[in-house]
Amino acid sequence: MLLKDKVAIITGASQGLGATTARYLHDAGAVVVINYFPDPDEANAAKASQLVDELGERSLSQCGNDRLYASVNAGTGSHHLHLAAVLTVLAPMLE
């Protein structure tokens, strides 16, 4: 496994390209953090939770905020952040 024991934070990973990226990195051995944006009806949180359930071990979800890195380090034990895949969701800005 190419990314065994590496930690990746994927922003906007509750759906679309972010979810695909999370699956790919997880399959390559990484511990993945499914980062999602808060929304009033908590749909992103539900999607992130479903993805974590799908991936199983080596995955967790976290709502994007300024304490993300601290919570990732706490949630992944002795692992340290190795990779951050940042995906920007442009669709809402184009509407």
- Model-level pTM? 0.70
Q: Tell me what pLDDT residue 47 has.
A: 94
- Specify the pairing of strand 59-63 against strand 7-10: unpaired
Q: Which of 5, 7, 16 is nearest to 60 (CA)?
A: 7
| 10-residue mean pLDDT series, the chain (95 residues) | 81 85 89 87 94 94 66 53 45 36
**Neighbour-count burial for 28-53, b at 16+ CB within 10 Å, e otherwise:** eebbbbbbbeeeeeeebbebbeebbe
Q: How far apart are the first and last CA of the chain?
A: 40
- Reported as type and span, the H/E element at residue 72 is helix 68-75
